[in-house]
Homo-oligomer: A and B are copies of this chain.
Amino acid sequence: MTIARSPLAPQGFPDLPAIQGVAPRVARARYKTWDRCDLTFIELTPGTAVAGVTTQSKCPSPEVEWCRAALALGQARALVVNAGNSNAFTGNRGRAAVEAIAARVAGHLGCQPSDVFVASTGVIGVPLPIDKAEAGLDAAFAAPACDWEDAAATIMTTDTFPKAVLTRAVIGEKTVNLVGIVKGSGMIAPDMATMLGFIFTDAAIEPAFLQKTLSAANRTSFSCITVDSDTSTSDTVLAFATGHAGNAPLASFDDAGADAFQAALGDMCLQLAHLVVRDGEGASKFIEIQVEGAVSDESAHRIALSVANSPLVKTAIAGEDANWGRVVMAVGKAGEPAERDRLAIRFGPTQVARGGLAVDGYDEAPVTAHLKGQEIEVGVDLGLGSGRATVWTCDLTHGYISINADYRS
């Protein structure tokens, strides 16, 4: 089944610089019966620092378990990404496949297996075939370095466009580059890093501090998006810092340039997260849910997710129907403090309900006009406190049903 490029996709692919110390290559492992590259091998210069966040699923893939163990060491020499088979829920055979991949790469680079990070995405429950992985790796070792667009396309599954972002920060006298690629369009929910995302920078950063900045960036980006409320067994975001920019290594927020790096990384993660929503399965609208006036930021976040995950809200927006009653419903079911008669709701800039009922003389025309656009904003004010949160999602359309009822992901 061919899915058309998402109508919410950005124009084209961004111009991205090479990141010193990072060499991507792609190959055909043929994990599925397709004729496309599906194995990505990215070699990293010795001394590259690594940080990561992984799924909160209680049934994670062996890749996730492998990465968690390797992250404790803070060093990386390579990343391997398999597309078409997530290798999740495959028992000992799944673990053996990850170990075989790490061993193959370690042999090729002369490094430790624990320096090799592995991520896989695709169908659950089918052990990753070791012979295909090894043949694919050997082909990748022999391949010329590719560009970021090839790498971003090779990690895709049901994605309809390759996703990448560039940000920069100035650390001391040095300008550092951050390039990120991401894949994901379904099984996206905010229990943490909610897709495969890989960020590469030439900045020099201590692993522990890189982890601190990535965790902070994750909280306001990948943890604030949802496509379908489903949480993958394989979600992984990794950040690699080669140090080739030559800045004085960052080790704490007291270091000059650390705030700038955090800002660039946060911007990177937010842009990557938005790209995932823009490729949400079947999405025709990009929706921002802004909640304020809650009793706490955490409460606001839970209410925002209740709205963002409501099938009735998402289908109403798909139908360009100013059915704000469904927003009331979703606020009411969140289980968080709310008082009906203090609640205010808006679509775009137009207030539709306030004080427990529709705004007097409410004119639906500007709301309908807003809903006909592709960028939808829903505002909820609880009127109780100063807690606020923003989450992003997409609408729920026939496209989601077609993709997921017909395609074994």
Contacts and interface: CB of A to CB of B under 8 A. Distances in A.
Nearest to A55: B332
B328 A125 contact: yes
Contacts of A55: 332
Contacts of A232: 329
Contact of A316 (B321, B335, B404): B404
A73 to B, nearest CB: 24
Contacts of A323: 123-124, 408-409
A14 to B, nearest CB: 30
Interface string A326-351: 10111111111111110100000000
Interface residues of A, number: 73
Contact of A123 (B228, B318, B325, B398): B325
Given A58-B334, A94-B357, A408-B323, A329 B400 contact: no
Interface in A199-256: 228-233
A310 interface: yes
Interface string A380-409: 000000000000000011101110111011
B311 A125 contact: no
B88 A328 contact: yes
B404 A401 contact: no
A59 B315 contact: no
Nearest to A340: B59
Contact of A125 (B186, B319, B324): B324
A355 interface: yes
Contact of A311 (B58, B89, B228, B358): B228
Contacts of A409: 312, 323
A89 B125 contact: no
A225 to B, nearest CB: 15
A369 B291 CA distance: 46
Interface in A40-93: 55-60, 86, 88-93
A328 B233 CA distance: 8
B328 A59 contact: yes
Contact of A357 (B57, B91, B123, B319): B91
The 7 closest A-B pairs by CB, nearest first: A124-B325, A319-B405, A91-B357, A59-B332, A57-B332, A315-B404, A231-B333
Interface of A: 55-60, 86, 88-94, 123-127, 186-187, 189, 191, 228-233, 309-312, 315-316, 318-319, 321, 323-326, 328-341, 343, 353, 355-358, 396-398, 400-402, 404-406, 408-409
5 contacts: A58-B333, A89-B340, A230-B333, A312-B404, A319-B406
